[in-house]
Amino acid sequence: MRGIVFSVALLAIVCFCLEGQQPATQTQPVSPQKTVVVVTGSWEPVPLEESDRSVNVYSLRDSVVLFNSLADVVDLDSSVSVESRAPGGIQDDISIRGGTFEQTLFLLDGIRLNDTQSAHYDFDIPVPLDAIGRMEILRGSGSTLYGSDAVAGAINIVTRPPDEQPFEMILRGGYGSFGTNQQSGFLSFHEGLLSQRFSFQRELSDGFMDDRDYRNFIAGSQTWLKTGLGLTRIYLGYVDRPFGANQFYGNFNSWERTKTWLVTLSQDLGKNTLFQFAYRRHSDLYVLFRNNPSFYTNRHVDDNWELALRRQNALTTKARIFYGAEGLGDHVTSNNLGVHSRKQGAVYAALDVRALRRFSFNAGAREEMYSGFQSGFGSIFVPNVSAGYWLSSTLKVRAAASRAFRLPSYTDLYYHDPANIGNPNLQPERAIDYEGGLDWNPRQHLRGEFTVFQRRDRNDIDYVRANSSAIWQAMNFDRIVFTGWEASLAVSLAHAQTVRVEYTGLHGAQSALNGYQSRYVFNYPTQQAVIAWDRISPRGWIARLRVGVVNQYQRNAYTLVDADAAWTRPRIRPYLRFTNLTNTFYEPVYGVAMPGRAVMGGIEVCVVCAGR
């Protein structure tokens, strides 16, 4: 609690110190500095200051060497809880605004990535860090735009744009605590109408405790081709993760290996039409006892495909209409879950009105149709509305309301083992989400936000049991309500420094469980604060410091401190990463311990530098 009090106090002190610094008087309202364009949470790219939703953006383009995995990036957001089981992004669960790990949708350039076998594998994302330009986090429901799973929020991984340099190649290698060694890098070239980038990421570790060793290999290929129709974008990705799973599913010396293959195609069809296709295949091999695989082994393979046609038209200079259709299908083959398939289809439309210096309004609706459940065919209608209004040139008020839904995963429906059993009669989760906020932009170097929100869930899916000796049974909850608030302040200081302070407070209330124990729904932080400092020096130094304080529901608070630094100017570039500097014992997932203090050091080599 002391860490959270300190974070809030620091936010208040900074606000007090800046209170007297008023902007110059202006006779006409003008839009604030627009330096970041976001594509998440809106129907078209808009400057961050014009977004009517609560969206955070984290760039990797100039500081990728400071991050070890995608989890390190999303951990900078105080409304995101990273429920880690191992370093390197091994089976990390992500929760936004108290939602379960199944209520967060992952996207790659707007294309769905979620795993239909189990959301535990949503973070098996086959995209190396060198292929990512930025990550955008939508805090709040997004089902009208993206469909199932975006109940609590969505994380959109935006790939790096093509380089204009003829050729560039960078390689890295490092070694650190617990016998960890890493290699990563990329090669890119540009020739005429074609641009290409190949990137990879590899990590091996002996583990910080018995049966917690892991290997992580990710490879990606990005292709851009200019044609008469428009730009063609193709992504090919692969990830392979074998790991010791001690404590993941209980105190067993378990072992698991997951693999993911991904193909995406985005094709511009003229100026106003986009066609998208994606295919994802995921496999999971799970062994309960590593030294006795024949005792209990599960093998799962699921396949997913997606087709989308999206179009927009200008109605006036200030109004546009967006509409389109999507088709999705998935199939699972498993010795535990059985063999199942289902299909989904959706149509959507939205009206967007923007007078950029004063007012914005959006209203949209989506009709989602699905099959493949015992209840047969079903449909869900999910509308949303959002608006923003500039009270002055520096202060904006915004509000949004939306519905959301999540279809049960195959594990929710059909999984069974001696301790857990699914439920084929589960109903889709449904939610209504409200939020309102203020954005304060007095100067280019200063930005503040305050948001209050409430999400009302119906039919949330969780595993419950009557007592500690009973089997966990999947079931729908009648009603759960989450209410909270978020505050943040970002300040750009002298010498290329940036400080960001964030705090999120959350309260959950549920319908009576009649004495039953809940497994996942209430594993959320009631308070979470993040203080992040970074510097990108013109002389070549980059550095980052993160202090995070987490107070989970009915558990003790803990503080984590991470620090990273690198030298980027010459061809030979050293870097250092320190994690958990205070050597804190913590379990983001109850019963699964995480490593203590660790360090990773290495060298980045610019084999062929940009522009040379």
The answer to whether the CB of 66 falls within 8 A of the CB of 577 is yes
| pLDDT at residue 500 in the model | 96
Q: What angle do CA 445, 450, 455 make, to 5 degrees?
A: 140
Q: Which two tokens stand for residue 160?
A: 């790096």
Percentage of the chain modeled with pLDDT above 90? 74
The mean-pLDDT minimum among 95-104, 120-129, 284-293, 459-468 falls in 459-468
The answer to whether the CB of 480 falls within 8 A of the CB of 88 is no
Closest residue by Cα to residue 134 from 35, 226, 231: 35
The mean-pLDDT minimum among 226-235, 266-275, 510-519 falls in 510-519
Asked whether the predicted pLDDT for residue 206 surpasses 90, the reply is yes
Asked whether the predicted pLDDT for residue 18 surpasses 80, the reply is no
13 band by pLDDT with thresholds 50, 70 and 90? very low
Asked whether the predicted pLDDT for residue 12 surpasses 70, the reply is no
Distance separating alpha carbons of residues 214 and 558, to the nearest angstrom: 26
The mean-pLDDT minimum among 2-6, 248-252, 506-510 falls in 2-6
Asked whether the predicted pLDDT for residue 33 surpasses 60, the reply is no
| pLDDT at residue 465 in the model | 87
Residue with tokens 């209410």: 483
Q: Which two tokens stand for residue 469?
A: 């000796």
| pLDDT at residue 528 in the model | 96
Asked whether the predicted pLDDT for residue 171 surpasses 80, the reply is yes
Average pLDDT score over residue span 292-303 = 94
513 band by pLDDT with thresholds 50, 70 and 90? low
DSSP state of 212: -
Average pLDDT score over residue span 379-389 = 96
Average pLDDT score over residue span 405-411 = 95
Average pLDDT score over residue span 528-545 = 92
| pLDDT at residue 557 in the model | 93
Asked whether the predicted pLDDT for residue 496 surpasses 50, the reply is yes
| pLDDT at residue 273 in the model | 96
The mean-pLDDT minimum among 27-41, 187-201, 419-433, 518-532 falls in 27-41
DSSP 3-state assignment of 527? strand
Closest residue by Cα to residue 525 from 559, 478, 500: 559
| pLDDT at residue 260 in the model | 98
| pLDDT at residue 35 in the model | 61
Average pLDDT score over residue span 20-38 = 46
Asked whether the predicted pLDDT for residue 191 surpasses 80, the reply is yes
Percentage of the chain modeled with pLDDT above 70? 92
The answer to whether the CB of 134 falls within 8 A of the CB of 158 is yes
| E strands, 568-608, in order | 572-579, 598-608
Distances (CA, A) of 389 to 23, 437, 488, 554: 19, 11, 20, 39
| pLDDT at residue 226 in the model | 94
Q: Which domains does the chain have, with CATH numbers?
A: 2-13+34-608 (2.40.170.20)
* Strands 359-373 and 376-390, sheet pairing: antiparallel
Q: Which two tokens stand for residue 62?
A: 């100039």
Contacts of 484 (CB under 8 A, 6+ apart): 97, 98, 452, 453, 454, 504, 505, 506, 507
What does pLDDT average to over the chain?
Answer: 89
The tens digit of pLDDT for each residue in 83-116 reads: 999 998 899 999 999 999 999 999 999 999 999 9
The mean-pLDDT minimum among 304-313, 325-334, 355-364, 389-398 falls in 355-364
Contacts of 25 (CB under 8 A, 6+ apart): none
Average pLDDT score over residue span 526-544 = 92
CB environment 565-590: b (16+ within 10 A), e (fewer): bbbbeeeebebbbbbbbeeeebbbbe
512 band by pLDDT with thresholds 50, 70 and 90? low
Asked whether the predicted pLDDT for residue 295 surpasses 50, the reply is yes
Asked whether the predicted pLDDT for residue 25 surpasses 70, the reply is no
Average pLDDT score over residue span 142-150 = 95
